[in-house]
Amino acid sequence: MVAFILSNLTGLVRQVLVTNAFGTQSEIEAFNAANRVSESLFNLVAGGALASAFIPILTSLLSTNKQQRAWKLVSSIANLVLLTTVTAAVLVGIFAPWVVRHLLAPGFAGDTAKELLTISLMRIMLPSAVIFGLSGLVMGALNSHQVFFFPSLAPAMYQLGMIFGVVFLSPSLGIFGLAWGVVIGAALHLGLQIPALLRLGGKYSLTFGLKSADVQDVVRLMGPRLLGVAVVQLNFWINTRLASQFIEGSVTGIVLGFTLMLMPQAAIAQSIAIAALPTFSAQIARGQLGEMRHSLAASLRGALLLSIPASFGLIILREPIIQSLYQRGQFDDASTQLVSWALMWYSAGLVGHALVEILSRSFYALHDTKTPVFIGILAMSLNVVFSYVFSALFMRAGWMAHGGLALANSVATGIEAVWLLILMRRRLEGIEARFIIEGTLKALIAALIMGGLLIVWQAETGLFSPWLKATGGVILGIMSFVLLMVILRVDEIQRAVRFLRRRLTK
């Protein structure tokens, strides 16, 4: 969690610098659209799809002391990932004009300069997909060995690469400097993790291992998950496609709004889920179903205790947060309104995103990638429908249409979380519901009171600077929520206090 917070802070610095340099205008619109392609390639080949299949199999081998087979599996998957990402990147680079015009951003067709810029930026950034492919695999191998800090810190290296691009390259290269920063950041993302991988002492093998039962298991488990990731990426492409046809800045609005929502989601849910998956997998490998049930319940409750107040806080403080972070240089008041509108609707889905992050990994630990994928496909199919419906309704109401895309994502993710929770409860024959509900109710009570205090703070500080309103609001929100958690006798707070006392004593 500490590493995720550091990465998020670095990401904030990067966003501040990028928005200051490019605002929400034509160049950054082209960059955000182009970057969607390399991100999609990474996620399809070596992102969530591979990790969800790779970590449970590798953890099972390590838990049963089959070290040689484990490292042969790592080598085989690394070679397959490298071959696949290189092939995909080359093909996309060749057909880049067709991809941009017909799939990614048809709304740019009326602006030839923006369309050509998108194509050029895409081709520059495609190598990052290959590098990220290997880096994602290294991250999975380290997580399986219970090494979490450096993999979780790696995103900060990616942000530093982009910071280098915008600060040192963009003054002479313009938006192309930021694109080269993406490639540099990807290399740093991989480079940070290599020393930790080498310390594990594994041996690389030049093999694809296509006849290996372990490799076949990874491929078998990855298949359904790959389909699920493809549907999620399709949603992102559809959102980019639709936003490219709305008012200028809509693509950047949904990208920045979604990124800001993901920052607390990553610190809260991803940190819990990434640390929990190897534990879930090891408990299943040892036949400890009861222990996994308790671990899952504790993880879900912890995520709810943190994501509920974070959702309230983002919605209420969204404008001063965006103003204090981004509103300078090319990023004006109109840009703030674009991003703030998207962030409000995305923040409503923060709790759902947090639950899905953990619940999906609990299915992967059970070597079941089909169930979460099936539910994910249904939910994301609803997301596509909602995207068209809600954006049309927003336009009819005279609201900025890209907010409908954000609301569609939040509603669909909430439905997905409820379905997964119901099915996992059946699979584990219970999920310690009373324990989870008790924590949720306390979090809601505390978040409502905290929200009321933040609304009063907003009203009473109307003439204050955005930085002071945002900083003071965040401090007030955290302090009031923690105090309310203590008053409500939430177990996790008491445990955290005891932990800190032990550490200070040592």
Q: What is the pLDDT of residue 395?
A: 95
Q: What is the pLDDT of residues 34-54, one digit of tens each?
A: 988 877 776 665 555 566 678
Q: Given the structure tokens 């699920």, which residue do they identify?
A: 228
**Paired tokens of 28:** 């950054």
Spell out the residues 6+ positions from residue 375 whose beta carbon is closer than 8 angstroms to its own.
416, 419, 420, 423
Q: What is the pLDDT of residue 47?
A: 54
- Number of residues that this document lists for the chain: 506
Spell out the residues 6+ positions from residue 20 whose beta carbon is closer than 8 angstroms to its own.
326, 328, 329, 330, 331
Find out whether 121 and 30 touch, Cβ atoms under 8 Å. yes
HSE at residue 230, side-chain half, CA atoms within 13 A, is 8
The pTM of the full predicted model, rounded to 2 decimals, is 0.74
Spell out the residues 6+ positions from residue 199 whose beta carbon is closer than 8 angstroms to its own.
none
Q: What is the pLDDT of residue 287?
A: 84
**Residue 117 per-residue DSSP state:** H
Q: What is the pLDDT of residue 369?
A: 75
Find out whether 439 and 298 touch, Cβ atoms under 8 Å. no
If you average pLDDT over every residue of the chain, what do you get?
89
Residue stretches of the chain with pLDDT short of 50: none
Find out whether 320 and 459 touch, Cβ atoms under 8 Å. no
Q: What is the pLDDT of residue 42?
A: 67
